[in-house]
Amino acid sequence: MESYRIEHDSMGEVKVPSEHLWGAQTQRSFENFKIGIEKMPTAIIRAFAILKKACAEANHELLPEKMTDEKLTAISSACDEILQGKLPGEFPLAVWQTGSGTQSNMNVNEVVANRGNQIAGKKLLHPNDDVNMSQSSNDTFPAAIHIAAICETKGLLLPSLNALIGELERLEKENEGILKCGRTHLQDAVPIRFSQEISGWRALLERSKEQIISSLTSLSNLSLGGTAVGTGLNAPKGFDKLVAEKISTATGHAFNTDPNKFHSLSSQDEAVFAHGALKALAADLMKIANDIRWLASGPRTGLGEITIPANEPGSSIMPGKVNPTQCEAVTMVAVQVMGNDAAVGFAASQGNFQLNVFLPVIAYNYLQSVRLLGDVMDSFRRNCVCGIMPNVSKMTENVNKSLMLAAALNPSIGYENAAKTVKLAFERDITLKEAAVSLGFLSEEEFDRVFKPEEMTC
């Protein structure tokens, strides 16, 4: 039989399971919002632990009579345990809760207070008066979004992106000089070197990386110190700047106080802008994955210009079939990120008066995009890109059959005569050389002298 203890808040008493550290407000939310299976992201809980510890440190310096050494030690120790992953079952709340994230803020306050009291061996901390000192849910949750976004992007996404760029650099160098058919509008075009094609993929990701890093600058501004509506009520002077410094030291990433707290509480334009850079990365990954699966299509009736690793059977009815599954995973993640971008944008547009109350859904979608992109780039690199091999004979065959090589004849016989050569070669299924000679535009010797496909890629 499950045992309970009685906790209370401003609304009265609540029964809380004895084995858990949370309090009355967490329990109320847990019971009142049984919606979906999406829980508050771990990255948000970690961000809260970082900022609660930093707030306690700032309060200790500015209000030492209230935030005593003993209280600071208890709060810091409890927050450290959260960051070490020692209290994983204490944060059960749904994303679909109050739009300000108040209940998740209180969830952390209650867990830190109760665990801090256990560490102190006495009733020392109050979740509101001590753990939430100089704060409001209205300024802590926007700050937690920014902290989590920067930490996750720098800690998860950018390393995966850098590794994929590095793999493409290796592939580019190893395939230098291989001539293949270029394609525009899904039709044959003039030749390109395989290394040049790969360099285009690499440059896409490098540009996305630049845009993502640039977008993080605006996320470095924190709302802490604005408290309920941006006025800073109940926060000591200098708290906002000091807590930003403490968070910078704790994370190793530079954070600043937002110069206008009315903006930082009611707007999520920084998240919209930064997620736009994530969407751009998703678009680039979609393009690269599609290129790779098109080039690997076949193996006999498609383009078949490259081979990719065969990781698992591709069909329950067709023996021997192998599908570009990693490419498909990339494209599905790209679609999800694009959908998340729409959700983030719509949610950010709802900053009514002094507060945006769509914060949990912004946090959930933003951090899901970061996680999915980071994970899928790692999977794509390890299970597909690293094993790409060119089918040189097929590339050469396609180059030799391409009628678009006629562009090399333009300087000698002109565009219109080159077009006539292409038309005859296509109609009679003969080579460009045979067509040009048949039309009397060039002799065989003249054709061989001017027709050099390998020089068309410079």
Q: Is there a single domain that holds both residue 127 and residue 194?
A: no
Least Cα distance to 425 among 441, 415, 436 occurs for 436
CATH for 69: 1.10.275.10
Neighbours of 272 (CB within 10 A): 20
Virtual torsion, Cα 270, 273, 279, 285, nearest 10 deg: -100
Asked, for residue 246, whether it belongs to a domain, the answer is no
CA angle 7, 13, 17 (to 5 degrees): 45
Final residue belonging to a domain, choices 393, 426, 441: 393
- pLDDT tens-digit profile, the chain (458 residues): 689 999 999 999 999 999 999 999 999 999 999 999 999 999 999 999 999 999 999 999 999 999 999 999 999 999 999 999 999 999 999 999 999 999 999 999 999 999 999 999 999 999 999 999 999 999 999 999 999 999 999 999 999 999 999 999 999 999 999 999 999 999 999 999 999 999 999 999 999 999 999 999 999 999 999 999 999 999 999 999 999 999 999 999 999 999 999 999 999 999 999 999 999 999 999 999 999 999 999 988 999 999 999 988 877 777 778 899 999 999 999 999 999 999 999 999 999 999 999 999 999 999 999 999 999 999 999 999 999 999 999 999 999 889 989 999 999 999 999 999 999 999 999 999 999 999 999 999 999 998 888 888 87
Q: Is there a single domain that holds both residue 319 and residue 223?
A: yes
| 3-state secondary structure at position 17 | strand
Q: Is there a single domain that holds both residue 109 and residue 169?
A: no
| Residues with active-site annotation | 185, 315
CATH for 439: 1.10.40.30
Q: Give the per-residue pLDDT at 300.
A: 87
Q: Is there a single domain that holds both residue 29 and residue 155?
A: no
Q: Where are the beta strands (DSSP E) in 88-156?
A: none
Q: Which domain holds residue 49?
A: 4-133
Asked, for residue 242, whether it belongs to a domain, the answer is no
- Residue 159 to residue 141: CA distance in whole angstroms: 26
The total number of structural domains that make up the chain:
3
Q: Is there a single domain that holds both residue 13 and residue 125?
A: yes
Least Cα distance to 253 among 220, 277, 213 occurs for 220
Q: Is there a single domain that holds both residue 314 and residue 198?
A: yes
